[in-house]
Structure formats: structure tokens, C-alpha cells
Amino acid sequence: MTNIHTESQDAKANAKMGIGARLRGYFLAGVLVTAPIGITFYLAWLLIGFVDNKVTGLIPDRYHPETYLPFGMPGLGVLIFVVSLILVGAFTAGYVGRLFHRYSERLLNRMPVIRGVYGAVKQILETVLSKKSTAFREAVLVEYPRCGLWSIAFITGQTEGEIQSLIDKDIVSIFVPTTPNPTSGFLLFVPRKDTTPLNMSVEEALKMVVSCGIVTPPDRRPVAKGAAPDDVTT
């Protein structure tokens, strides 16, 4: 009787543990499903609200839809901003627009401080937005900050000018981002042979940086003939 009673208690304990484990699994599954969606919508809402406040703040109150409607219109500022950019682009594509743009550039280039800022911003945007640009199109591994330690980096372009002429090697410019904020980092000039190209996309490498290595993309390197898939190191 004692053995039967003990087995009954063990069965009840296992059942309770099983229910607890299932509930914990369901909870974690719910977090994994809802957290990315919720955070994405929250960040998008913050961005839309920021643009709306900045753009609609430039519009007189009598032209605000909220003045005549009992509810707000989120996203109106974003829509106005996008339409404005399209109209400006269409205007500068014409003869009058090109002429206006040319004279505006001449005026800005005559201002001592503004000239440097305008020239730098224009060059960066033209380089990044160019279809032929290779900036941030390739993720690599580089030994940094010392030998034996590896960091993810992004090639920003082929090094040219004075820096390339001073170094008798094929030099590339790379950006090593910090974790978890990839908007800051370090600019390095390294020989191309000292970088290890990664098969992962730039987006996947960026996710790995932001997540502090928690999100790791799968190894997509081709498996050598005669080698088992498990033989490929990750």
C-alpha cells in the first residue's frame, strides 16, 4: 500500500510539473510571437508620430483636418512629407528646377561653414543612394580590436586618395559597429586580404549586431563533396 501511495504522489507531482512546463512553453511562445510584432508597431508609431508633429507643426491650424474633424489622422504628416519630396524631385527635373538648384548650390558653396557641411552631406547621400554604390553592401569579419578577436564589419568602399597612395596594399574602408547601437562605431582602413567575406546578408549581420549575437543566421556556405553537413563549422 505504501508503494502504491508513493507512486500516486509521484504521478500527481509529474502531472503538476507537466502542466507547469506546458504553461511556461505557451507563455514563451506567446512572447516570441507578440513581442516582435508589438515592438515593430510601437517603433513605427513613434516614427510616424515624430514626423507628423514636425510636418503638421509647419501648417496653419486652419488647414489641419483635426480642426474640422472629431478625430485625428495619424500618418498625415508622413504623407505630406513624401508628396513634398516627389514634387521637389519633379520640379528639379525640369529646366527651371535645374537652374534654381544650380544657383542655390553656388550660393551655398560661397558660405564658409555651410559649404563644408553641405558638400559632405551631399557627397554621402549621393554615394549611399547611388545604384552603383557598394557602401554597406557586404558584411565581413575582421580581427579587431586585436589578433584573435573577431568583429563583424561592413565594407563602405574602396579606399582612394592619399590614404591608398601611402599604403602599398589593396585597402578598403570598413565600418565596425558597436553593440547594441549600430549607429556608432569605428572607421578602419584595412587590407582587403585581411577581411573574411560572410555569406550572410547585411540585414542578417545587422540583426546579429543589434541582438548582441543572440540572433545568429544559419551557415549557408556550400558543403564540400564527401563532407557531412555537420562538418561545416558555424
* DSSP secondary structure, the chain, as one string: -HHHHHHHHHHHHHHHHHHHHHHHHHHHHHHHHHHHHHHHHHHHHHHHHHHHHHHHTTS-GGG-GGGTSSS--TTHHHHHHHHHHHHHHHHHHSHHHHHHHHHHHHHHHTSHHHHHHHHHHHHHHHHHH-TT--TT--EEEEE-SSTT-EEEEEEEEE--HHHHHHSSS-EEEEEEE-SS-TTSEEEEEEEGGGEEE-SS-HHHHHHHHHTTTSS-----SPPPTT--GGGS--
In-domain check, residue 123: no
151 occurs within a structural domain: yes
Q: Is residue 47 part of a domain?
A: no
Q: Which of 179, 138, 180 is nearest to 155 (CA)?
A: 138
Q: In terms of residue numbers, what domain contains 164? A: 139-210
Over residues 192-228, the pLDDT tens digits come to 999 999 999 999 999 999 888 888 888 877 765 554 4
> Tens digit of pLDDT for each residue in 47-86?
998 998 888 888 887 877 777 777 778 888 889 999 999 9
Q: What is the residue type of 201?
A: S
C-alpha cell at 164: 591608398
Residue with cell string 512572447 = 31
Domain presence at residue 223: no
Taking a C-beta distance cutoff of 8 angstroms, is the pair 232, 219 a contact?
A: yes
Q: What is the pLDDT of residue 3?
A: 53
Q: Pick the closest to residue 176 from 127, 132, 142, 149 (CA basis).
A: 142
156 domain-assigned: yes
Whether 153 is in a domain gets the answer yes
Classify residue 191: in a domain, yes or no.
yes
- Give residue for cell 500618418: 75
Q: What is the pLDDT of residue 195?
A: 94
29 within domain boundaries: no
**CA–CA separation, 118 vs 216, rounded Å?**
39
Counting the structural domains of the chain, the total is 1
User: Average pLDDT, whole number, for the chain?
Assistant: 82
What is the average per-residue pLDDT within 121-135? 73
